[in-house]
Structure 1
Amino acid sequence: MDPHTSAQDVSRCDLCETAVVQMHCDTCLVNLCMACVGDHMMPDQFKKHEIVPFQLRKSTPLYPRCTTHSKERCEMYCYQCDISVCNTCIASDHHLGHKFITILQILDEKKNKIIKAHTELKETIYPTYQDIASDVQNRMSQLEKEYGDLSTAITKHGEDLHREIDKLVKKLKAEVDEMKNTQLQTLQKHLDEINKKIFDIEDEIDAVNATKDSNDLSKLFSVKLSLDKYKKLPPKIVSCTPKFMPGKVQEKELHDMIGAVTPSSLTSGDYCYSMKFSLPEPESVTTIYTGYRYLYNVACLNDEEIWTSGDDNTMKLFSINQGSLLKSITAKSGKIPCDIAVTKSGDLVYTDYHKKSVNIVKNKKTEKMIKLQNWIPLGVCNTSSLDLLVIMYSDDDNKQTKVVRYSGSTEKQTIQFDDKGKPLYSSSGYYRYVAENRNLDICVSDSHAREVVVVNQAGILRFVYTGEQNKSFCPRGITTDSQSHILTADIYNDCIHIIDQDGQFIRYIECALKNPYGLCIDTNDNLFVAQYRNIQVKKIKYLQ
């Protein structure tokens, strides 16, 4: 029986090819009998062979070969250079004074990261994209039905009219078909893009499956995962089916008798998908002492620096990692800023309650962007379209509150009343803050009304959040994250409320907070909380 071709034969020694395998060299990946172990090790006595019982093969880590010294294997890891190194490398001047650890010390850490990434890909990201694809497919089926009903209504109405109007009926149906095809083509393209992402995720999962149980460090270090590009989910396209509006048969033009079809729409602005994962337990990462008597606001300049404002006329820039004061800017009026924000270009914006103005600090110079008449600015925020949203109230006897969108100093939009003409916001109280969500909703925390009011981009009311029933809700600062969560500070209950984009409560963040006031979030979804009385900014990690 041929030992190399028979599937029923026992494993044979790779050297003599006759004796039964008893040992294994994990260094060379060679099967050996007891008699051949010495012969295997003799040709290169200086090479370190890892000989283990055959049943324990692959238990020894496969050290990577040194890229500088090809005959050496890397058993150490250099922290400063972030590479694996051999003993010859360690002895060289290139790594003089560097910190080393054995490469086995980071083996478990590296495996755990890969396993965690694999779990997130398989259990969170992949199912989410599958749900998105299913949602788009269901909407396409619904469109087919709705457009079919629309065509039937048009046909039925056309049958009631004279033959001379048949041509116009056909024209209307052609318009409907064109609208349907346009929307279906757009949704199909959207679905194709989502399916491509799903295939890419499957490839990532397969790549991790191929290496996650391996002890081959070269393979482990070669795994390059990029989860961030999948975490930013595609927009959810919301279609609006046109309606058929039949006309009455009167002495009018035939077009009026047939009626008209309302324009169709296919938008992605008002709603977006959310990643379906549970929030981990919030963790306080860093605390920064600010030196105010009372601390009000915080705004991220970038992932390393934050602006703050408190109960005096200075706005302070701090290093997040060092906790050190980097610079201070004094408000031009000498009064306390009401709120602060940072533009996309990194300029500081603040509202001046006493001067009724919105100011910007550019190149160390303070300029007046917006000067108000009969209105007092309160909260301010930057938007994804580079506009500014300012919430303000009138200084006359007929107290009113509104949110105004500005492009530079030009007023573009005013949001004040609901569709029944009733005020969206309370008419009194000083504490009101504004933020824009990822789906372009405009979110306002109204402390006097004890509620968060959310309208869509057009200013149409979506929902009002009034807190949980077992707590007296008193909101202050408000911000949003990459998952379209809305976070608002509850100053007297010492916590942060997290709600989703539809106003459903998710959880509280507590983390030993004391009177949380201002909020902001950096590009990595780290939350910064300005605490009113203990004048500290606390950095909190609450997302994966």
Structure 2
Amino acid sequence: MDPRTSAQDVMRCDLCETAVVQMHCDTCLVNLCKACVGEHTISDKSKKHEIVTSNLRKTTPLYPGCASHVKEQCEMYCNQCDILVCATCVASDQHLGHKLSKILQVLDERKEKIMNKQMELKETICPTYMDIASDIQNRISQIEKNCEDLSAAIEEQGDVLHREIRKHVTNLQDEVHDLKIKQLKTLQKHLDEITVTISDIKNEISWIEAFVDSNDITKLLAINLTTTIDKYKNLPQKILPSLPKFTPGKILGEEIRKLFGVLAPSFMTLEKHGYSMRTTQKSPEAGSSPPVKQLLDEPETVTNIHTGYENLLNVACRGDEEIWTSGTDNTMKLFSINQGSLLKSITTKSGNKLYDLAVTKNGDLVYTDHMDNSVNIVKNEGIEEIIKTQKWGPYSVCITLSFDLLVIMYNIREKQSKVVRYSGFTKKQTIQFDDQGKPLYSTGFYYRHITENRNLDICVSDHKAGAVVVVNQAGKMRFRYTGRTPGLKIEPFNPRGIITDSQSHILTADDNSLCVHVIDQDGHFVRYINCGLSEPMGLCIDSNDYLFVAQYRNGKVKKIKYLQ
């Protein structure tokens, strides 16, 4: 094999083309063996040849030639004129008093800037676009899954409607059949009676004919047919059957759509600042560890907000400046936290009282209407139904870190409870039983509230069970907290509202002992918060870990600081 053409051979000298490369001219970018170094340097004496070992090639800068002075190399840079200059240029009056820099310094600075830009492209911009591509791909997958689920739901609704129509058709046909049997039976009985009478009349006719043919004057004078004839002259009643009729109902397209169901409006929007550049640190929502905050020795009441409700149930933070509230009626009120003033009041779409409310990451209000079997969103001054169920009524709701909806559902007939996760308003997960097939949550119509912890655990306050039931993201049981603390006598645990903070504490209101229980993410008791609470119900926490407590009887929301 020819060593000069073999790809497996070592690098050869560019001059002799036989010896192994040992040196390199950074000026001319030529590979050399030691024997050819002298020949190369004398071949062009106009250049300053920078000879280095081959492993250090390209370490010497390639000085450019001067545009004004032939055969001169520019080793300086004029900052004021923004040009490269040679030694002769520097000695002239043209750059007198100008700030000059060594070209190597400029080279290093430019390299650093280029490397920084390259680093930004490599570690920030490119990963950001990869995240955007991944996000778009996820949305494509969600749309495909959502449309498949929608098609399945529509098909199922069509089957339900077909079954109902077939059931109605069968019932009507059964009614027609029963009517036919009843009327035919009546007419057949009447026909049988007439048939018997006809037979009797024919017998009378035959008997009379026999008498007439006998010419027996004695018998003819003795016969009296008046009574017999009169009997048959009293004709029977005429039975007129009521013939059944079918009047088809008018089938209107609009009524069919209302009966069958309609698709909620769907549209695409362009959000100018929807994406943000990736940073080297993950956001808290992405699971990074937040700053550690210690508990205050004594929680402090910051302010009280009067809501005007006779019976206040729920509170939800809308950023750090506003809170949504609801009570035992059908209104939702938005308050300013700092001023305590009412900003807005909204009535439910159905007019029914709502059960629970939550706020999305975009600041939109979500509420549950268990009497209407719907979950609704208040958006752009309008109310849109986003989830509609058949047999299960939605009660408590929360927004997860991944923007899913977690909804506690209850079936009145079957007296069963479950947690359903909706992604893009499509059912994604159902949590109802433990590994032994036993219900995770109590039965019966009782208060239950739900939240998600930073470790993605799903936490439910189960009032009837007197427990906080915590499962992991997959729905597997982690622990039950029953509020029983050794060495401390308290009233029976009656959990109501539930929320979590930046430290993964789980906080739940206890309207029996008039306090808020704080437990850690593994179910261990941490402390109580009371601050003179009056029947605490709903809870929420803002981004600064201020706790807001909805108080049932006095209709006030109390803002509490409990973390440093």
Give the structure-1-normalised TM-score: 0.50
Give the structure-2-normalised TM-score: 0.48
